[in-house]
Amino acid sequence: MPAVAVLGAQWGDEGKGKVVHLLCREADFCVRFNGGTNAGHRVVTSRVPSLVGDGAESDSELPAQEFKFHLIPSGALHENCTGVLGNGMVVDPYALVQELNALRELRGSDPDIYISYGAHLLLPYHPIIERLEGSQSALDTTAKGIGPAYRDKAARIGLRMSDLLFPQTFLEKLDKILERYRRIWPESKELQQFESQELGEDLLRLSEVFRERIVDTVQLLHDALDQGKLIVFEGAQAALLDLDFGTYPYVTSSTATIGGIGSGAGVPPNRVGRIIGVAKAYTTRVGHGPFPTEIHGPLGEHLRQQGHEFGTTTGRPRRCGWLDLVALRYVSKLNGFTELALTKLDVLSGLFEIPVATAYRYHGRTLYEFPAVCEMLHECEPIYERLPGWKEPLQGCQTFSDLPRAAQDYIRFIEDELNLPISLISVGPGEDENLWR
């Protein structure tokens, strides 16, 4: 069975976690292949999986629960689904153990997870280095140390999950890298205070919780594919934050587009069938960087309040703007989307009209292609098509024909402009608030 990819189509926080959770009801594996704790994927369930049994009718009577995934794949809430942390990730082991504990509590049982030998360790000195360098404030990152951890990987001095299996060499490698950073930042009290033996032993002790789960995940996933198992790949971040294709330097440090599955999980493109782009019905961005359709003023604040647009990881208010089809066309091309999942359509209820950017005006020219160059984007003026809004709330809509006519037209307009089917429309955070088509 070909695998399914779920990828962010804007600047992150599109609702990937929710979509992945839905798809993983039927999946055998859910795989993260990029990023680390910079990701925050919120899943709202109307049931507690471990209590469900086979009495489907009683599910809805259980109270709604939420879980914010950062490292563990969002499908791991389901009993049937094994979570895999791929080699393309940078994993903070302290955060991993915390998340495992929280998830165990919610599920009432241990989630089934595996971690790649090749996943890099994000260690307590990485966020400190990010702060010292000033990149945290210059880019407004999530402050988790993501950039420094990936830089260690590229510089070939990073520590990997497999290193935890060889304690003596692990301690030696850690000592070397800490020595290096103490030399680079002699004035940093925070870095000087790390005692490598102590930190190393603490990490080795901590890793006992998941040591047996550090395996060859490439083999695991290929065996699963050969046995006809269903794998869902869960992208973190999104195309416009991709290290290569995003709005550099206001990007993250990993590959958030389709190619990340090959490099970050070892599964080649011809094993992936459906490629689902997740987009909000409008646009948000957290952190600095160009955002042509950003709304300044009361309407932006209206969307932020209606959509609860505050970061899942950091709580930062998200910048809000209209849907940008120029950007989406670019992202769809990069990823080869076979379909789109459109989330948060409910948030647009009550607007008189809804502007959608179909092109940009740049130095007197009309651009239909997204220029992924900050200097150009800063001077791009969106050209808007103004579509009629609708008054009705959408909660409770269960089929496409339940939607108000203007909302149906909004969906069809996007499909026509992008030449892409929208197969899932989400009208609320809950797992049952969707229209499938």
Among this protein's residues, is 13 annotated catalytic?
yes
Buried b (16+ CB within 10 A) or exposed e, 323-339: bbbbbbbbbbebbebbe
In this chain, which of 7, 9, 15, 47 binds ligand GDP, going by CB under 6 A? 15
> 301: which residues sit within 8 A by CB, 6+ positions away?
320
Q: Which residue among 21, 28, 41, 152 is the active-site one?
A: 41
- Residue whose token pair is 């301690």: 171
Tell me how far, at minimum, the Cβ of 187 lies from ligand IMO, in Å.
24
Spatial distance between the Cα atoms of 387 and 135, rounded to a whole number of angstroms: 40
User: What is the signed CA dihedral for 96, 98, 102, 103, rounded to 10 degrees?
Assistant: 10
**Which positions from 24 through 83 interact with Mg ion, judged by CB under 5 A?**
40
Tell me how far, at minimum, the Cβ of 242 lies from ligand GDP, in Å.
14
Q: What are the C-alpha distances in Å from 302 to residues 211, 218, 315?
A: 47, 45, 17
Taking each helix axis as running N to C, give the angle between helix 405-418 and helix 325-335, from 0 to 180 degrees, rounded to the nearest 10.
50
Tell me how far, at minimum, the Cβ of 143 lies from ligand GDP, in Å.
16
Identify which of residues 191 and 276 has a Cβ nearer to ligand GDP in the complex: 276
Q: Is the peptide bond before 421 cis (omega within 30 degrees of 0)?
A: no
Site string for ligand IMO, 294-333 (x = CB under 6 A): ------------------x---------------------
Site string for ligand IMO, 266-295 (x = CB under 6 A): --------------------xx--------
- Residue whose token pair is 């404030």: 137
Q: Give how many residues touch ligand IMO by CB under 6 A.
A: 24
Query: 247 and 290 in contact (C-beta within 8 Å)?
Result: yes
Q: Is 287 in the site for ligand GDP (CB under 6 A)?
A: no
Helices (H), 286-398: 298-306, 325-335, 374-377
In this chain, which of 23, 24, 39, 427 binds ligand IMO, going by CB under 6 A? 39
- Of 66-74, 182-190, 308-316, 327-335, which part binds Mg ion (CB under 5 A)? 308-316
Instruction: Specify which residues 300 forms β-bridges with.
Output: none
- Residue whose token pair is 């976690």: 17
User: What is the signed CA dihedral for 329, 335, 340, 346, rounded to 10 degrees?
Assistant: -70
Instruction: Specify which residues 386 forms β-bridges with.
Output: 355
In this chain, which of 247, 414, 426, 435 binds ligand GDP, going by CB under 6 A? 426
The CB density around residue 388, as the number of other CB atoms within 10 Å, is 14
Q: Is 343 in the site for Mg ion (CB under 5 A)?
A: no
38 binds, among ligand IMO, Mg ion, ligand GDP, none (CB under 5 to 8 A by kind): ligand IMO
Site string for ligand GDP, 346-365 (x = CB under 6 A): xx------------------
Identify which of residues 146 and 334 has a Cβ nearer to ligand IMO in the complex: 146
φ, ψ for residue 338 (rounded to 5)?
-95, -15
Spatial distance between the Cα atoms of 383 and 307, rounded to a whole number of angstroms: 24
Identify which of residues 164 and 286 has a Cβ nearer to ligand IMO in the complex: 286
29 binds, among ligand IMO, ligand GDP, Mg ion, none (CB under 5 to 8 A by kind): none
Q: Tell me the residue number closest to ligand IMO, measured at CB.
A: 287
Q: Is 141 in the site for Mg ion (CB under 5 A)?
A: no
- Residue whose token pair is 């607007």: 351
**Which positions from 32 through 91 interact with ligand GDP, judged by CB under 6 A?**
40-42, 44
**Which positions from 183 through 242 interact with ligand IMO, judged by CB under 6 A?**
236-238, 241
Spatial distance between the Cα atoms of 429 and 296, rounded to a whole number of angstroms: 25
Tell me how far, at minimum, the Cβ of 40 lies from Mg ion, in Å.
4
In this chain, which of 45, 247, 255, 343 binds ligand GDP, going by CB under 6 A? 343
Tell me how far, at minimum, the Cβ of 239 lies from Mg ion, in Å.
14
Query: 425 and 342 in contact (C-beta within 8 Å)?
Result: yes
Between strands 365-367 and 353-362, the pairing is antiparallel
Q: Is 14 in the site for Mg ion (CB under 5 A)?
A: no
Structure tokens at 262: 């090959």
Catalog residues that contact Mg ion under the rule CB under 5 A: 13, 40, 312
Q: Which residues are catalytic?
A: 13, 41
Catalog residues that contact ligand IMO under the rule CB under 6 A: 8, 12-13, 38-41, 139-142, 144, 146-147, 236-238, 241, 250, 252-253, 286-287, 312
